[in-house]
Amino acid sequence: MNDLPHNLYRAAQVRELDRIAIEEFAVPGEVLMTRAGQAAFAALRAHWPDSRSIVVLCGTGNNGGDGYVVARLAREAGLDVTVLQLGNAARVGGAARLARDALLAAGAAVTPYAGQSLQGYDVVVDALLGTGLERPLEGLWRDAVAAIRGAPGHVLAIDIPTGLHADRGSVLGAAVKADLTITFIGVKQGLLTGQGLDACGTLLYDDLGVPGALFRRLVPAAVAGGALRLRRVLPPRARDSHKGCFGHVLVVGGEQGMSGAPRLAGEAAARCGAGLVSIATRAAHAAVLNLSCPELMVHGAEDAAALRPLFSRATVLAIGPGLGVGKWARCMLAACLESPLPKVMDADALTLLAQEPLRRDDWVLTPHPGEAACLLGVSSRDIQADRFHAVREIQERYGGVCVLKGAGTLIQGRGRATVVCTAGNPGMATGGMGDVLTGVIAALLAQGLGPMAAACHGAILHARAGDR
């Protein structure tokens, strides 16, 4: 077993890596399949050492072949093994057929699946379908997935949970919910975002011993980011530095009744190293915010004339927390868009931007799925169905850097591989989290990071803090 690598691939790319390994690096397909089965069985034994009975559901492709290897190894280890076959057995070919023949030669039986109960097994192994699935499951395949989901035993998915789209991270009708997934050669990008995270459970990786040179043949579709490397991009502060050295964030927001949002953004910016933080908000909020957060400089700004003078002291604008979508909000946003300062755009600022689209290179957009849907004129369900496509489309349409929040937050810059934030947890699904992220990214911009670096490090820092 290997550590989860940073490079992520689409399903077609992983198939190409398979082809290159077999045809150009002379690693036989049956060797790769044997190694995959060995790795999967080792994971099964390591995680559930007391398991005595397993059922392996095999499809007709290479995923099923991996399952046959697992079944043979389990039988050799003295476990009680049941093997159920879905699909036309005559379609099993190549390395998978060799694996099935070896299992049969060892004295095991392979029984066609006909809706048998999966109750009573310690472990259920999903070796039904791999990365090629493009449409919702039907018939016995869907029934088998339902049976796996209803089984009381632990569930091990081989390479990818059946029913999950490898590229999008979305479920095609129904999908296996695994406790443990082990994926091979290249990590599929859909395993780390959206519904992929819950479907996979704990994700393990094995490169199957292929040469390292193999991975230099393809440019990854995405990269996983979960480790903080702020020391590389933010050098140690000089002993004689002062607050003026680390930028000035101006947060613009806080319509009537929503003063908490800009406060959260401002406090986050201050805690993440911005030298100075100001807030421009409705005049009624200024006194209360100044009293509750004396480190923040709060200004009442009821019109553009009151807001514009604040730009001269700022280095970054954070626009949108609690902004609202009324006349005051539109006035504030219009004035901010006149400024050449780099910007973080969030919340209501994105809702207003969707109504009058602009494209700029100097901003970071931080939509959640609902705001992303507004930006693209689709439904939030459409966004979640293909988060990678959505984040690329927003970046291409609006420019700058897009941070698509959610499970497996995605960060997309122009001409860059998508970055997947692998930190974070469902406990962060609460009001105010997005405002805090806005402040974090704005603080990093204020300290000199570029938009892509600030977005990536900000998202990871925010998520890691939520995990602590």
Sheet with 154-158, strands from edge to edge, namely 110-112, 80-85, 53-58, 123-127, 154-158, 180-184, 202-206
Provide the Cα torsion 337, 338, 342, 345; round to 10°: -10
Same domain, residue pair 279 and 414: yes
Q: What is the pLDDT of residue 19?
A: 96
Q: How far apart are CA 148 and CA 180, in angstroms?
A: 13
| Residue 19 domain boundaries | 7-219
| 114 assigned to some structural domain | yes
| Chain segment 295-354, per-residue pLDDT in tens | 999 999 999 999 999 999 999 999 999 999 999 999 999 999 999 999 999 999 999 999
pLDDT-based confidence at 231, cuts 50/70/90?
confident
CA neighbor of 328 nearest in space, from 343, 357, 358, 348 = 348
| 225 assigned to some structural domain | no
Q: Please tell me the least confidently modeled range out of 24-33, 285-294, 354-363, 459-468.
A: 285-294
> What's the number of domains the chain is made of?
2
| 2 assigned to some structural domain | no
pLDDT-based confidence at 154, cuts 50/70/90?
very high
162, 190, 219 — which closes off a domain?
219
Whichever domain contains 129, its CATH number is: 3.40.50.10260
| 224 assigned to some structural domain | no
Same domain, residue pair 246 and 207: no
Same domain, residue pair 67 and 205: yes
Taking the CA atoms of 261, 262, 263 and 269 in sequence, report the sign of the dihedral they define: positive
| 362 assigned to some structural domain | yes
- Are 252 and 319 in contact by the 8 Å Cβ rule? The answer is yes
| pLDDT > 90? residue 228 | no
Dump strand ranges (E) for 42-197: 53-58, 80-85, 110-112, 123-127, 154-158, 180-184, 187-188
Same domain, residue pair 145 and 247: no
The letter for the amino acid at 19 is: R
| pLDDT > 80? residue 43 | yes
Q: How far apart are CA 184 and CA 311, in angstroms?
A: 52
Same domain, residue pair 281 and 427: yes
pLDDT, average across residues 162-188: 98
Same domain, residue pair 188 and 210: yes
| 432 assigned to some structural domain | yes
| pLDDT > 90? residue 235 | no
154, 186, 219 — which closes off a domain?
219
| 1 assigned to some structural domain | no
161, 184, 219 — which closes off a domain?
219
Whichever domain contains 259, its CATH number is: 3.40.1190.20
